[in-house]
Structure 1
Amino acid sequence: MAQITVIGSISTDFVVETKKLPMMGETVEGEVFRTSFGGKGANQAVASARLGAETTMLGAVGTDPFGNELLKNLEKNGINVNDVERVTHSSGSAFITLVDGDNSIIYVPGANGAYMPEMLDRVIEEEKVFQNSDLVLVQNETPVDTVEHLIRRCNEIGIPLLFNPAPARELHSSLIDQVTFLTPNETECSVLFPGEDIETVLAKYPNKLIVTLGSRGAVYHDGQEIQRIPSIKVEQVVDTTGAGDTFNGAFAFAYASGLNLHDSIRFGNIAAGLSIQKAGAQTGAPTLEQVKEHKDFEKEWDFK
């Protein structure tokens, strides 16, 4: 069984569906309001766990009622939360506006911003979770010092690390060299590599840099040429929130389960395509059985 550790944000999503985004100073009428579980870290953990990975979550939630519910949700999805920290900050939150299936988001870190390097070190030194991990995932909704510390520690220990640099911020090239996979979208890629075209950057980081392109799939360089892997065809897009997280969690599961890089991206694209046909960042993440039912699933992909 694939063993995956996710370090990252655990948040509550407050979602409004409307036909029009308000301009500054304008009030518009919303059609639907709902709350759901989110946070890029939690989303990726749920995506991998739902597919069958033995998944451990590291991060922080508040001591407020939201924190209690966030932990219950992760446990319900079969995720180990024994080392999630409880802090005095409010639990993280995201305010999401949906218009015609596309989203805009305001993220409030709260407790997620309180997950410090020393908290991470306690787990590394006292537990075997890192040493037993097939792959570690992290995103940018965790403090920059903690992310950079994690990259260095994983490199020291020899544990493969997938870094999803979202939301985008600068990253020193020495740290890029230490990660196993880097998975920005197009916008995040332009922040990481300002002034450089995507083909040049892909060639610079073969079999490491995977750029997700939304409805156009994903691209990477295999050391010889650029490989373009299309997304699956989707009849109706319901909610794109969490699609990138589902891709990362599914890619991690596939790679940790023994698929090669190319097929792991294909698998991630299937899972992401299925996720946008349901509402919610986590509720749309498919099970392995649902992915297997899709026509693009290859029967030779043997998941135990």
Structure 2
Amino acid sequence: MTQPRLDVLAIGNAIVDVIADADDGFLAEQSLDKGSMRLIDEAEAERLYGLMGPGREASGGSAGNTAAGLAALGIRTGFIGQVADDQLGAIYRHDIQTLGVDFLVEPRRDVGATARCLILVTPDAQRTMNTFLGAAQKLDASAIDHAAVADAGILYLEGYLWDPEGPRHAMEAAIDAAKAAGRKVAFTLSDTFVVDRHRADFLRLMDEGRIDILFANAMELAAMTGEDDFDAGVAALAPKLPLLVVTHGDQGAVAVAGEERARVAAEPIERLVDTTGAGDLFAAGFLAGQARGLGLEQSLKLGAIAAAEVIQHYGARPEKDLKALAGGLL
């Protein structure tokens, strides 16, 4: 097998995040469930944006955040996600490319507006996300460069994007291209609502051997397995996969590959500010370790380091030098 041009190629929603502070009273007034993610239409996005306090814009999206983290760790990374030919689309492409990520999809004028996520952060650092998917859900199979997929060591897929039919077909095509080239496929479950809607599909992918690395958090694990006990959930799901990685909040994370099992504690932090992107950056650190041929424990450690950095400031992209924080691990 030839050496890949890219270490990781990520596919996901290309979303511009708008982040603002809010209190519990505001969430209650807007009937918002704290810590949740809901999908909204363009009209609701405009309405809620008008009520939000001062915010800041940053390119986001789950897999896009992971791609940014990977690039910050010195990993050769590409990204596939659909943007519109509009101002936010230009901002998204510029931001991700300046980070060193190859952006592999052309903007389109026939897909509506570029997606945005309105993120309300309460004083307890919980984030409540209101997402208008816009152009992101118009990604279709024609946007998948099969040669680029075949030339990436790991294909990383965002569960959020499995929901609309067009992107789902696009990701299935990408999985086929990766498997035909003998590459690995990593998948993140993204959210419990994604699991609830597509559990049968995800189990099918596992049974067909089309997922090599699965990322989940404790709530997604419980939704996937029906097991409320964390260890029981890991025991139920791990045999279905070559490699299962599960984060458990401040209790750390676990990785299981066959008979091999590793666990690391969460990294100490000075102050919890915003949990947005914690799972995305954890995946970045872990995949960076795997791309560099590190073991499970070292890869988990890198994930914990990257996640700890991002939860100590607003936004889902790293602000400190992740390579320096990683020390001698990379």
TM-score for both structures, normalised by structure 1 = 0.86
Aligned in 2, Cα 1:286/1:212: closer, same or farther, shift over 3 Å?
farther
Matched residue, 1:79: 101
2:160 matched to which residue of 1? 141
Counterpart among 109, 113, 118 of residue 90 in structure 1 = 113
Structure 2 residues not aligned, in runs of 5+:
33-50, 162-166
Residue 203 of structure 1 deviates from its aligned partner by 4.1
Deviation at residue 2 of structure 1 after TM alignment:
6.4
The answer on whether the counterparts of 1:6 and 1:136 sit within 8 Å (CA) in structure 2 is yes
CA contact (8 A) 1:8 1:139 kept: yes
- Structure 1 portions without partners, runs of 5+: 293-298
Report the residue type matching 2:78 in the other structure.
T
Q: In structure 2, do the counterparts of structure 1 residues 286 and 140 end up closer, same or farther at CA, with 3 Å as the change threshold?
A: farther
In the TM superposition, residue 107 of structure 1 has moved relative to its aligned partner by 1.8
Match in the other structure for 1:49? 71
| Corresponding residue of 1:70 | 92
Who is 2:16 aligned against?
Answer: 12
Aligned residues: CA RMSD: 2.4
Distance 1:150 1:26 in 2: 38
Identity of aligned residues (%): 23
- 1:154: which partner in 2? 178
> Following TM superposition, by how much is the alpha carbon of 1:82 offset from its aligned partner in structure 2, in angstroms?
4.0
Q: Cα gap change, 1:277/1:174 in structure 2, threshold over 3 Å: closer, same or farther?
A: same
1:22 match: 27
Q: Distance in 1 between matches of 2:173 and 2:253?
A: 28
Q: 1:207 to 1:216 in 2, by over 3 A?
A: farther
The structure in which a higher percent of residues are helix is 2
> Please, what TM-score do these two structures have when normalized by structure 2?
0.79
Secondary structure at the aligned position of 1:61 is classed as: coil
Moved over 6 A (4+): none
Q: How many residues align?
A: 289
Match of 2:216, SS?
coil
Partner SS, residue 43 of structure 1: helix
Query: Which of these residues, 152, 160, 166, is aligned with residue 190 of structure 2?
Result: 166
Q: 1:165 to 1:84 in 2, by over 3 A?
A: farther
Change (3 A) 1:260 1:64: same
How far apart are residue 156 of structure 1 and its match? 2.6
**1:179 paired residue number:** 211
Report the residue type matching 2:213 in the other structure: F
**2:239–2:258 CA contact under 8 A, matched in 1:** no
